[in-house]
Structure 1
C-alpha cells in the first residue's frame, strides 16, 4: 500500500476564497491526500511568493491551481500518481 501524497494549501486566514477551497478539499477529497495548510502571513518569503495568488494548491513545487479549485487538474494529478 502506498503512502498518501501530501499537498500544500497556501492561505490567508481571513481570505474567503481560501476558506472555500479548504472546505472543498476537506469535504470532497477526504482521505485521498494529506493536506498541509500554510498561512502565508507567517513568513515573509512565502508572502512575497504567493501573496497575489492565494489560495494556492501545490504538489511539491508544482502548482495545481490558485484562486479557485481546479478539480480537473487535481483529479488528473491524483490519478497520475495513483
Structure 2
C-alpha cells in the first residue's frame, strides 16, 4: 500500500482540479490519500503556501499546482 499526501487549501480551484484529476488513481486498491488542509497548520502554510496543491510521499514532492501523470506514474513504479 502506498500512502500519498494531498496538501490543499479550501476553496482553491487548482486544488479542486487536481483532486478531480486524481479520481482514477483514488480508485486503485494499492493507493491511499491523506488530504491535509494547510490552512489548519501554520508550519504547513509556511512550507506549502505558495505551492498548493501539492502531491507528496513523505518529504518527496511528486508534483504541485497541476497533476503530472507521468511523474506520478514514474513514482508509483519506483516509490523508493
Q: Judge same fold: TM > 0.5, yes or no.
A: yes
Q: CA RMSD in A?
A: 0.9
- How far residue 51 of structure 1 moved from its aligned partner, in angstroms, is 0.2
| CA deviation vs aligned residue, 1:6-59 (integer Å, no higher than 9, x gap) | 00010001001001111111x211214100000000000000000000001001
Runs of 4+ in 1 over 2 A off after TM superposition: none
1:57 partner SS: strand
| CA deviation vs aligned residue, 1:57-77 (integer Å, no higher than 9, x gap) | 001110001000011010001
Mapping 1:3-82, distance limit 5 Å: 4-25=1-22, 27-29=23-25, 30-31=27-28, 32-81=30-79
- How far residue 80 of structure 1 moved from its aligned partner, in angstroms, is 1.3
Unaligned runs of 5+ in 2: none
Alignment TM-score, normalising by the size of structure 2 = 0.91
- Paired residues, number: 77
Q: Distance in 1 between matches of 2:78 and 2:41?
A: 31
Greater mean alpha carbon deviation, residues 9-18 or residues 28-37: 28-37
Alignment TM-score, normalising by the size of structure 1 = 0.89
2:14 partner SS: helix
2:52 partner SS: coil
